[in-house]
Amino acid sequence: MSRYAEVIVDLAAAQIDHVFTYRIPEGMALQPGQRVEVPFRAHTLEGFVVGLTDETNVDPAVIKDVIEPIEDYPVILPELIDLARWMQQRYHCCLVDGLRLMIPAQMRGGRVGIKRIEVATLLISGDELDEFVRRNRRAKKRLEVIDCLKQGPKPVPLLNSIAPGAAKKLSEMGVVRIESDDVRRVPYTGLSSTRQEDPVLVKAQADALDTLTEAADHGGGRFLIHGVTGSGKTEVYIRLVRHALQSGKGAIILVPEISLTPQMVDWFRARFGDNAAVLHSRLSAGERFDEWRRIRTGQAKVVIGARSAVFAPVSPLGAIIIDEEHESSYQAGGRPGYDAREIADWRCRRDGAVMLLGSATPSIATYMKCMPGVREVNRIRLIEMPRRINGQPLPEVEIIDMRDELVRGNKSIFSMRLVEGMTAALSEGRQVILFINRRGHSTFVSCRSCGYVERCAQCDVSMTYHQWDGLLHCHYCGSVRRPPDTCPVCGSRFIRYFGVGTQKVEEEVHRRFPGVATSRMDVDTTGTKDAHEKIISSFRQGQSQVLIGTQMIAKGLDFPNVTLVGIVAADLSLQVPDYRSVERTFQLITQVSGRAGRAEHPGRVILQTYDPEHYGIQLAARQDYRAFYLQEVKMRRRGLYPPFTVLARLLVSSKDEPDARSVAEEIAGRFNESLSAHDTWQSCVVQTRALEAPLKILRGEYRWQVFAKLYNRPEASDIVQEMERLGHVDHGGVRVELEVNPSAML
């Protein structure tokens, strides 16, 4: 038996980001991947065993003993330890940052564990039971408990609700046994998940599946299904998962929005029953732990979840499927800022599994890897599904120039064509989706006299008015305050509410269509547990006729009775200061348009815009992805934006603005010195500078950045590592974080 354990202590700090050696006491058995309690300086800490050894160069006199294992099994698989090591290098983080992602967060510190409950079992039957009932005929409550137990073992709390204390008394009398049993906390118990038979595949689906299963049987591969909305991609996912199970392997299916998870869980449970588990952050701590434990013990081999489910302990792994692969939600913020698509790629390459990306609007970077001339190591094979599964045409998209509406005297947020379309759809008993990618009632509150705008005191943003509570909200830090009655600058009473959000759209629907039931789906309405499931289920069952929402409703959802989609303000995402703003606008319009006409009734889309000539709007209306890709690549190449370049920044944050600025300028000076010392580095740099972050104040901290745009060459990785090194220097309490191609540059 190995004498020493190599342990990573559960503290995220660069100074201790290395293995510590501990002695394994006599009689204690440990394995890599187990969690242990260890002495560390004057404290007792949790740690992860990442290796075992019989020899060490550390002085035996200073080596301390492992106190005890926390679990009796390895919570982290060997391949996931290797993944954490890879993440340490790829994302410039501590090893423990990666290891923490491999288990439910609440396991750390013992905040969650196996739930146990007392269960009562009846011990007597037949004549003995009849005699007991005869002798206790006056103990009515005890006999009620006996009747309940005749049907089988029952939880003691349930029996106590019938007759408090009766189960315990019956146990003392020797007719009932009470013992503890594990109880599984099951998410989405409200889903019907009725078992379904496989539908017959159309030719495009069958061809796609043949390609994928052949690859699965011969060492895996990387694929992109580019299929229009409603083309049947999900059925291909399901059949690929079944192939993995038949091969003795498991599969992971990722969705970009938690709102999509209940629908996907329902579909997969209907095919795979209890073999399907779900993992995401909106589960309760107990549900997440129990689902993770079922996966770890092999009771569930199919995992459905959001971004973090990519770390699920599925082994052996047959496939990872990433639905709506273009979504920025697959890129994690904070530390480590991992990309779930890269994690999936690493795991599939290691295990010889299939990585399948799917989208009607693939990201520019992904689609480019499908093009001729790409190096084989980076290449993704393209599978196209250009037609809807049921033969229905894609919805007809009509662009409405809102400038013309103003000329005609229509100052409403709804064009006349949208009102006409809603009237027709609702009168026919159909349903309508209204999409606007901004929550709240009014975007900002301003004084008409002097132009003053109510801004958050902690963040450099305007506050949004929410009608439901009559308050101003900051969507970044969460601060709330009452709107002013008079302008705090000039004293004017001409305070007005400007802009449009989901609440204002809902208000307008109620004004124009009294009596029509609506559902609203945004961050404000989905904060409680299972809120997504309840809203979607209500709309699918026809309890509401109009669904109003943000990007949560723009993708993946299947509502057969929806025949009209209204895009209230298609320009909103075009105005975001980000090089991906046109791409995201195209994706949102195409995806939300695809919610219409998915069954036997044809679909229609009313797209409202103040910029109808923009190529992103025009090509989205035509749903011509290939033309958009060619145009956008041309713009990216000309502007030197990713994937032709790498954008990296050191984000400097401090409560004190001069400190943030001075640290940023100091880092920029050292960075320029490093560049000057390397000729090959200088030729790789497009530009570098220190400047205020676009969102200069966030949650009460001032933000500066050291920004670098680099050509996408091998040297770029070395330059980014140098930026990381400069960021790790002690800056006297000023926080410095490295971001590489962040999902948002604000």
List, for residues 681-740, the tens digit of each pLDDT value. 999 999 999 998 888 888 889 999 999 999 999 899 899 989 988 988 888 889 998 888
Between CA 292 and CA 624 the distance in angstroms is 41
- Alpha carbon of residue 556 to chain centroid: 14
Looking at residue 381, what is its pLDDT?
97
Asked whether residue 10 carries a pLDDT value surpassing 90, the answer given is yes
- The pLDDT confidence band at residue 90, using thresholds 50, 70 and 90, is confident
Looking at residue 183, what is its pLDDT?
84
Tokens 């300086």, residue located: 41
Between CA 191 and CA 537 the distance in angstroms is 9
Could you give the C-alpha distances from 661 to 313, 650, 683, 701, in angstroms and in order? 44, 12, 27, 12
- Residue 18, both tokens: 């290395």
Looking at residue 498, what is its pLDDT?
66
Looking at residue 98, what is its pLDDT?
97
- The pLDDT confidence band at residue 92, using thresholds 50, 70 and 90, is confident
Looking at residue 458, what is its pLDDT?
84
Looking at residue 567, what is its pLDDT?
95
SS3 of residue 304 by DSSP: strand
Between CA 80 and CA 86 the distance in angstroms is 10
| Fold classified for 4-110 | GIY-YIG endonuclease (3.40.1440)
For residue 80, give the amino acid letter.
L
Residue 352 burial by CB count (10 A; 0-12/13-18/19+): exposed, middle or buried? middle
Q: Note whether 571 and 604 are within 8 A (CB).
A: no
Domain ranges across the chain: 4-110, 116-182, 203-385, 396-443+499-636, 645-740
For residue 388, give the amino acid letter.
R
The C-alpha angle with vertex 305 and arms to 303 and 306, in degrees rounded to 5, equals 150
Looking at residue 192, what is its pLDDT?
64
Tens-digit pLDDT profile for residues 392-420: 889 999 999 998 998 999 989 999 999 99
Asked whether residue 140 carries a pLDDT value surpassing 70, the answer given is yes
Work out the mean pLDDT of the chain and round it to a whole number.
91
Looking at residue 190, what is its pLDDT?
73
The pLDDT of 324-345, averaged and rounded, is 91
Do strands 701-711 and 685-698 pair parallel, antiparallel, or not at all (unpaired)? antiparallel
Phi, psi for 99 (deg, rounded to 5)? -60, -35
Looking at residue 531, what is its pLDDT?
86
Between CA 548 and CA 509 the distance in angstroms is 9
SS3 of residue 630 by DSSP: helix
From the candidate CATH numbers 3.40.50.300, 3.40.640.10, 3.10.590.10, 1.20.1580.10, the one assigned to the domain spanning 396-443+499-636:
3.40.50.300
Q: Which CATH architecture has domain 203-385?
A: 3-Layer(aba) Sandwich (3.40)
Do strands 546-549 and 645-654 pair parallel, antiparallel, or not at all (unpaired)? unpaired
- Residue 457, both tokens: 């005191």
Tokens 């200088």, residue located: 682
Looking at residue 193, what is its pLDDT?
65
pTM above 0.75, yes or no: yes
Tokens 């591969």, residue located: 221
Contacts of 415 (CB under 8 A, 6+ apart): 400, 402, 405, 606, 608
Q: Note whether 552 and 393 are within 8 A (CB).
A: no
Could you give the C-alpha distances from 51 to 35, 58, 61, 82, in angstroms and in order? 12, 15, 21, 11
- The pLDDT confidence band at residue 123, using thresholds 50, 70 and 90, is very high
Q: Note whether 693 and 704 are within 8 A (CB).
A: yes
For residue 180, give the amino acid letter.
S
Do strands 43-53 and 4-9 pair parallel, antiparallel, or not at all (unpaired)? antiparallel
- Residues of the chain with pLDDT > 70: what percent? 98
Looking at residue 588, what is its pLDDT?
93
- Residue 635, both tokens: 């713009």
As a CATH number, domain 645-740 is 3.30.70
Between CA 160 and CA 171 the distance in angstroms is 13
- Other Cβ atoms less than 10 A from the Cβ of 644: the count is 15
Q: Note whether 740 and 720 are within 8 A (CB).
A: yes
Between CA 610 and CA 401 the distance in angstroms is 6
Dmax (CA) for the chain in angstroms is: 98
Looking at residue 37, what is its pLDDT?
97
Identify each DSSP E strand in 335-378 by its residue range: 354-359
Tens-digit pLDDT profile for residues 379-396: 999 999 999 987 888 999
Asked whether residue 1 carries a pLDDT value surpassing 60, the answer given is no
Between CA 578 and CA 576 the distance in angstroms is 6
Rounded (10°) angle between helices 625-639 and 581-593 = 170
Same fold, 4-110 and 203-385: no
Q: Note whether 228 and 594 are within 8 A (CB).
A: yes
Tens-digit pLDDT profile for residues 227-254: 999 899 999 999 999 999 999 999 999 9
Dihedral sign (CA 145, 150, 156, 158): negative
Tens-digit pLDDT profile for residues 645-669: 999 999 999 999 999 999 999 999 9
SS3 of residue 463 by DSSP: coil
